[in-house]
Structure 1
Amino acid sequence: MPGAVIIGAGPGIGRAVARRFAKEGLPITLIARGAQTLRATAAAIAPQGVPVLTAQADSTDRAELDAALDQAVGEHGVPDVTVYNAALVRADELGQLSVRDHMEAWAVNVVGALNAAARLAPAMAMRGSGTFLVTGGMPEPKPQYVSLSLGKAGVRTLIALLDQQYGPSGVHAASVTVDGPVAPGTDFDPDDIAEHYWRLHTQPRHLWDREVLHTGRS
């Protein structure tokens, strides 16, 4: 049974989204850089009783990411839904970062998602169905978060490109834009945010949203 692939499966949104999809009985593939992170998230969704595959990979290393995604497809089939949740979040102002630092942020925030889509979206399109979701943020750019603002603008453009290329073949590309710091028990509780991912995945095609904004206000 095809399932869900979570890239950036650490504490917070990644873990909450994994739990949410596991609750619906989907097999789960968890991808993260750290083995400890993978073990903790796998343990968190174990009570759901679904098959769980863990794969250690850096989202900025295309060979590692491709290998992890190929492992997921080999184990569970072409996923029903892929969630790209990796991000490099740091405060930086105009002119503060080196070119290398900006490229590092761009690689995590945008290029990793692009490479994941390049690996999986064509197979989803060939099947005629699939969902590709990216965790977004910064609905408005902020001068104290320059690299993150640029990256999240890149995410929106990537989603638009994926929708243009693969939407007609049945692949729903969308982002969940989170406008605040994620923390349990707050207006930005990760379990509440995870509901957006499930809703996007289950939306009827004629009602597809390309972006959902979580502001923390009801």
Structure 2
Amino acid sequence: MSNEESKTIVVIGAGPGIGLAVGRRWGRSGYRVALVARRAERLAGFVEQLAAEGITSSAHATDVTDLAALRATLTEIEQQHGAIHALYYGPPATSGTMCAPRDITVDKLAPMLGLLNGAVAAVEHVLPGMLERRDGALLFCMPMSAIEPVLFSANYAMACAAIRNYVQSLYVDIASQGVYAGAVPIAGLIIEGDSERAKSLDATARRPGDRAWDEYRAFHEDLAAHITSRQIADTFWDLATTRDRYEEILGNPAICARLREQALIGTPAS
């Protein structure tokens, strides 16, 4: 058994796209994979998929905004798999909870701050052990709106921007201690989930002329902004192994800047 085969990655926000792809990428390199998300039945399916590929994984149904439950889950994972050597954090916000800047209220911001608090709580739990071993990786996935805001997800972007700032600070603070922190902002569409995104927008009665739909359409129509989950997972692996930068943006960042300029002059996205 190699050294890699004795390690564990925790994937917080394990969905069928990026989270599963990250687990698969680390699993192919011998890591045990602990999958964390809300839906137990979906996680069970992921465990079966990974097992069919020869990857050892476990399912842990947890709401990451419930900090006590998250800490208990991380302890459970350590008891089951041993030390946590890598942490991926990328729980999404659902479209129904996101809103434009003019619609932000304390109540609408609260669930997004829950995602921020979950990131801090997860790092708080795993980082001491990583520093003691002088080995570990903290990986965060977020939308490009953490850097260049788009209107339909302004409250989510506020939390993501804070997480990104946290990652930048961690990268500088802990690099000399053998622990890596890095982020992949996504400036585009994860094409495997494109149909689900469209359904979500339909379900909330968004139509052409609505800013959220126009912004989605701009991403949908720009092929340079189409990304696969595997690309993202491979990018995280490269960041964690080379450790020569804290961030790599995937997709087409120019879209977000263009949307911002169009919003300022009041023209529809195109």
Q: TM-score, normalised by structure 1?
A: 0.90
Q: Are 2:125 and 1:105 aligned?
A: no
Which one of 76, 94, 103 corresponds to residue 96 of structure 1?
103
The aligned counterpart of 2:137 is 131
Once the two structures are TM-superposed, the CA of residue 192 in structure 1 deviates from its matched residue by 1.5
Once the two structures are TM-superposed, the CA of residue 89 in structure 1 deviates from its matched residue by 4.4
Structure 1 SS opposite 2:11 = strand
Counterpart amino acid of residue 72 in structure 2: A
Once the two structures are TM-superposed, the CA of residue 168 in structure 1 deviates from its matched residue by 2.5
The aligned counterpart of 1:210 is 246
The aligned counterpart of 2:153 is 145
CA deviation vs aligned residue, 1:66-94 (integer Å, no higher than 9, x gap): 11111111222222211001121434112
Once the two structures are TM-superposed, the CA of residue 216 in structure 1 deviates from its matched residue by 5.8
The aligned counterpart of 1:118 is 124
Once the two structures are TM-superposed, the CA of residue 129 in structure 1 deviates from its matched residue by 0.7
Which one of 65, 68, 83 corresponds to residue 63 of structure 1?
68
CA contact (8 A) 1:128 1:171 kept: yes
Give the whole-Å Cα distance in 2 for the aligned partners of 1:51 and 1:11.
Answer: 17
CA contact (8 A) 1:19 1:44 kept: no
Bigger shift: residues 156-165 or 74-83: 156-165
Counterpart amino acid of residue 215 in structure 1: G
Q: Are 2:169 and 1:172 aligned?
A: no
The aligned counterpart of 2:235 is 196
Which one of 8, 15, 37 corresponds to residue 32 of structure 1?
37
Give the whole-Å Cα distance in 1 for the aligned partners of 2:136 and 2:93.
Answer: 26
Once the two structures are TM-superposed, the CA of residue 166 in structure 1 deviates from its matched residue by 2.6
The aligned counterpart of 2:219 is none
Give the whole-Å Cα distance in 2 for the aligned partners of 1:214 and 1:89.
Answer: 21
For the aligned residue pairs, the C-alpha RMSD in angstroms reads 1.9
Give the whole-Å Cα distance in 2 for the aligned partners of 1:152 and 1:162.
Answer: 15
Structure 2 SS opposite 1:211 = coil
Counterpart amino acid of residue 103 in structure 1: A
Give the whole-Å Cα distance in 2 for the aligned partners of 1:86 and 1:189.
Answer: 17
Tell me the percent identity.
Answer: 28
Bigger shift: residues 5-14 or 185-194: 185-194
Structure 2 SS opposite 1:184 = helix
Q: TM-score, normalised by structure 2?
A: 0.74
Structure 1 alignment gaps of length 5 or more: none
Structure 2 SS opposite 1:212 = coil
| Aligned residue-pair number | 213
Counterpart amino acid of residue 13 in structure 1: I
CA contact (8 A) 1:121 1:166 kept: no
Give the whole-Å Cα distance in 2 for the aligned partners of 1:104 and 1:84.
Answer: 16
CA contact (8 A) 2:8 2:31 kept: yes
